[in-house]
Amino acid sequence: MPILIDRDTRVVVQGITGRDGSFHARQMLAYGTKVVAGVVPGKGDERFDGAVPVFNTVAEAVEATGADTSVVYVPAAFAPDALYEAADSGIRLIVGITEGIPVLEMLKVVRYVRERGARLVGPNCPGLLSPGRSKVGIIPAQIAAPGNVGVVSRSGTLTYEIVWQLTRAGIGQSTCIGIGGDPIAGTTFVDCLEAFEADPETDAVVLIGEIGGTDEQEAAEVMRARMSKPAVAFIAGQTAPPGRRMGHAGAIVTGSAGTAAEKIAAVQAAGVPVAARPSDVVGLVREVCAAR
């Protein structure tokens, strides 16, 4: 089974009539995701593409459709309120695609969501894809194939690159999840590794990290102490200059713990092979699966 989403996931799209929300809602619908509602304040009683009902609030959408998952395509200025609203409405999984939300705001949002028993993936993330089952977010469906390798990443574009490399090599995926690269994220590597470890359909895991923070070191400890399934990793940013932000708000090296070299050393010390290049991931996956 996939983690977090499956064929029965019922999705409400916050911001479904906006440029990004409408485009990706159509992509999700085309993939077979159960997009049961949209939410745009002031546009209640409309229908998106003549089929998906639009509501003024998430609470109305949940009550009318039984939605259990929300994906948020709302501008940064309004995204925190959209995340709060989803958590208050009984949504179990909130996927925050929006980038540019202030860190101090996200500190409050993450705590609020957790206190209400929901899970937040993101913000500033590509979301999730369970190949052949469901897509919540912006990961291109055509690059993935059903299989037994879980993929978790801080980088959206590297997720796409490595998933496509796996698919071209005939290695399918159980779930692909982009947790986002911001300093404050609702779901961590550790959360995903624990979920993959418990998933009977995941046989191996690919972890894609990057410079900044200590998430990869924490993941390494979990892979060493609490995972029986094989894993491989790739750490981006090996040539990044110290003190310069590289892509994500969280991808900035401010001390030795945040460097690619330190992260690679920690992951390798946990017995997990680290690819030198994204294209090397396929070979490492084959090796660890054959040795299992």
User: What positions carry a catalytic annotation?
Assistant: 248
* Residue closest to 104 by CA, chosen among 179, 183, 211: 183
* Residue closest to 161 by CA, chosen among 256, 234, 265, 110: 234
In this structure, the strands spanning 173-178 and 52-55 are: unpaired
Cβ atoms of 186 and 121 within 8 Å: the answer is yes
Strand partners, 173: 149
CA separation for the pair 196, 230 (Å, rounded): 11
* Residue closest to 196 by CA, chosen among 139, 153, 160: 153
**Phi and psi at residue 14, to the nearest 5°:** -85, 120
Cβ atoms of 82 and 105 within 8 Å: the answer is no
CA separation for the pair 104, 236 (Å, rounded): 26
Amino acid at 184: I
CA separation for the pair 231, 199 (Å, rounded): 14
Cβ atoms of 61 and 85 within 8 Å: the answer is no
In this structure, the strands spanning 34-39 and 10-14 are: parallel
* Residue closest to 149 by CA, chosen among 208, 235, 74: 208
3-state secondary structure of 186: coil
CA separation for the pair 211, 217 (Å, rounded): 11
